[in-house]
Amino acid sequence: MTHSILKEKEDPKLFGAHSPNPSLSHSKDEETTSIQHSELERKKVLRKMDLHLLPFISFLYLLSFLDRANIGNAKIAGMAHDLHLDGLKYNVIAAVFFIPYALFEVPSNICLKLFRPSIWIPSIMVAWGIVMTLMCLCRSYEGLIVARVFLGLTEAGLFPGITFYLSLWYRRRDVAQRIAIFFSAATIAGAFGGLLAYGIEHMEGIGGLYGWQWIFCLEGIATVLFAIASFFFMYDYPETASFLTEDERAIVLEMLKEDRHGLPTNFQMKYVWQAITDIHTYFMVGIYMGLLIPVYAIALFTPTIVNELGFSAANAQLLTVPPFFCGCVATIIIGHFSDKYNKRGPFIVIGCLISFVGYVVLLTQRSAAASYIGAVLAATGVYPCVPVTLAWAGSASGGDMRRGVALAMVIGMGNLGGICSSFIYIRPPRFILGHSVIIGWLWVALIFSCLSMWAFDRQNKLKEKRCREENIDESRQAEFTELGNDSPLFRYTI
């Protein structure tokens, strides 16, 4: 309790205005020692949680992104030729994934709260791994459409589920770096997918399957095997985590309690409606959609873009690695600094501007070398913005259920942008339409980020004024438990 009060005094913007507690009689030196010791303990527990949680969920998301984006690698490995995917057929195959993927994200996060994460997440993994494996049997355009619909349906719960899952373990100020680490698996998947496809397509003819069919088969089997193991190795919540000692568990629960300001953790439908009717949720949807359209375009079409620059299909697979690698490094670095300074919007604006420069290069330069540099800049700028946005969306929602629904809405509605991504790269070799549309969406994300920063700052100032005028502090948090974001003690991250 002492630490909680000291922390509030140290950072009044996070907790609102507070009156001094007369029961505290420590000297200044004792206060400093108490804070430093407590922060050291907290950082030690955070590192332990990182080691037990992040590698597992990062590999889990790597498999997910690999399975959804390998259609781009399969295309240039011969799928388009073998299945006669002329015209917009490939674009349709890429697009149908996103319809069920977007629609089932909110129900999935509700199921995650109703069931245990260690049951729900591995179960949907098994389902999409089986779908992915069976895609190797598709020998027609229609068959691929059906398979991609079911892949979108079964994968829908993973990304919002993991994002929500992390918010149940970490404070709002700590979560951006963790989301960045697990999201960086998407960039690794993009790089690793190219290398993997380069090797697997040499299995052409084995078992009577084409090389691109082996890409689907082997990657799907890997997902199923890891999903089965996940039933035994995934932890549910800090309260039940076996790797935490009693003292460590108490520290984690204390941090989460401070961060929640007494807001609810149980399921009630009114918290679902609070998220649905919150205008700030739709600001985040606008930002996320503006980012996801470039992200999915990069994942689905980078092999094609590089191939159209004049490189062979095999070399194009390998040359997709550097853009994703740079995006991975930038994602982790930006996530770290976003948490360090407890800022979200400014980092999104910077990332959008970097990606914007990359697409301007792609639009204006004709040489393969310059265009390739543009592709690297495009990925490096936009990938770090995604985890920062998700951390921002989570921190802008008070209470577990409201946060889970808001995150699912942001991710689900944002992922509808993948439909747009699927149809804009249709005029090779320079893809002027595609690059121009993405530039427009980057500015949508940038503008909504600026609007959100302004709105959140205004709300924080109004709440601080109310706390001062009405003498509201943490001792009265029970009065505002069911208000969510409207609680005068709740503060938005800028």
CA 426 to chain centre: 27
In whole angstroms, give the CA distance from residue 197 to residue 75: 11
Residue whose token pair is 């948090």? 477
Q: Could you give the residue ranges of the DSSP H alpha helices within 75-116?
A: 80-82, 89-96, 98-103, 105-114
Amino acid identity of 422?
S
- Apex 480 CA angle, 453 and 341, nearest 5: 30
Handedness of CA 83, 84, 90, 96 (dihedral sign): negative
In whole angstroms, give the CA distance from residue 429 to residue 407: 37
Helices and strands of the chain, counted as H and E runs? 23, 0
- Residue 338's Cβ-side half-sphere holds a number of Cα atoms within 13 Å equal to 35
Main-chain phi, psi angles of 422, to 5 degrees = -75, -15
pLDDT at 89 over 60: yes
The whole-number pLDDT of residue 263 equals: 55
In whole angstroms, give the CA distance from residue 460 to residue 489: 9
The least confident of 75-89, 153-167, 397-411, 436-450 is: 397-411
The whole-number pLDDT of residue 142 equals: 94
The whole-number pLDDT of residue 264 equals: 56
Mean pLDDT on 147-157: 92
Mean pLDDT on 405-422: 86
Instruction: Name the 3-class secondary structure at 421.
Output: helix
pLDDT at 36 over 60: no
pLDDT at 32 over 70: no
Mean pLDDT on 17-29: 38
Contacts of 401 (CB under 8 A, 6+ apart): 113, 264, 265, 266, 267, 268, 271, 272, 275
pLDDT band for position 489 (cuts 50, 70, 90) = confident
Bin 171: left if φ > 0, else alpha if -120 < ψ < 50, else beta: beta
Main-chain phi, psi angles of 39, to 5 degrees = -65, -35
In CATH terms, 270-493 corresponds, of 1.10.3470.10, 3.40.630.10, 1.10.10.10, 1.20.1250.20, to: 1.20.1250.20
Per-residue pLDDT reduced to its tens digit, 324-333: 889 889 999 9
Residue 324's nearest CA partner among 427, 129, 176, 183 is 183
In whole angstroms, give the CA distance from residue 493 to residue 460: 9
Mean pLDDT for the chain overall: 83
pLDDT at 428 over 70: yes
pLDDT band for position 405 (cuts 50, 70, 90) = confident
Return the domain boundaries, the chain.
38-259, 270-493
Per-residue pLDDT reduced to its tens digit, 303-326: 777 777 777 666 776 787 788 889
pLDDT at 67 over 90: no
Contacts of 272 (CB under 8 A, 6+ apart): 110, 401, 402, 405
Q: Are 185 and 61 in contact, with CB atoms under 8 Å apart?
A: yes
Q: Are 301 and 194 in contact, with CB atoms under 8 Å apart?
A: no
The whole-number pLDDT of residue 355 equals: 96
Higher pLDDT, 413 or 300: 413
In whole angstroms, give the CA distance from residue 228 to residue 231: 6
Per-residue pLDDT reduced to its tens digit, 464-487: 898 888 888 877 767 776 676 777
pLDDT at 91 over 60: yes
Mean pLDDT on 334-346: 93
Bin 225: left if φ > 0, else alpha if -120 < ψ < 50, else beta: alpha
In whole angstroms, give the CA distance from residue 26 to residue 266: 37
Residue 98's nearest CA partner among 138, 163, 183, 155 is 155
Amino acid identity of 9?
K
In whole angstroms, give the CA distance from residue 339 to residue 432: 36
Per-residue pLDDT reduced to its tens digit, 118-138: 999 999 999 999 999 999 999
In whole angstroms, give the CA distance from residue 166 to residue 138: 36
In whole angstroms, give the CA distance from residue 320 to residue 76: 12
- CATH dotted code for 38-259: 1.20.1250.20
Residue whose token pair is 């709300």? 459
Per-residue pLDDT reduced to its tens digit, 213-244: 999 999 999 999 999 999 988 999 998 899 99
Per the structure block, which two tokens stand in for 30?
Answer: 């004792």
The least confident of 20-24, 169-173, 348-352, 406-410 is: 20-24
The whole-number pLDDT of residue 270 equals: 74
Same fold for the pair 38-259 and 270-493: yes
The whole-number pLDDT of residue 47 equals: 93
Mean pLDDT on 409-431: 85
Main-chain phi, psi angles of 425, to 5 degrees = -100, 80
Higher pLDDT, 69 or 316: 69
Mean pLDDT on 401-423: 85
pLDDT at 16 over 50: no
Residue 64's nearest CA partner among 119, 109, 121 is 121
Q: Would you list the DSSP string of 1-56?
A: -HHHHHHHHH-HHHH------TT----HHHHHHHHHHHHHHHHHHHHHHHHHHHHH
Higher pLDDT, 31 or 101: 101
Amino acid identity of 428?
P
Higher pLDDT, 351 or 310: 351
Q: Is the peptide bond before 429 cis (omega within 30 degrees of 0)?
A: yes
Residue 303's nearest CA partner among 291, 319, 322 is 319
Most confident of 152-166, 181-195, 278-292, 419-433: 278-292
Burial of 201 (0-12, 13-18, 19+ CB in 10 A): buried
- Tell me which DSSP letter residue 78 carries: I
pTM reported for the whole predicted model? 0.77
Per-residue pLDDT reduced to its tens digit, 159-212: 888 988 998 899 888 888 899 988 887 677 767 777 788 888 888 889 888 999
Per-residue pLDDT reduced to its tens digit, 239-271: 889 999 999 998 998 888 877 655 555 556 777
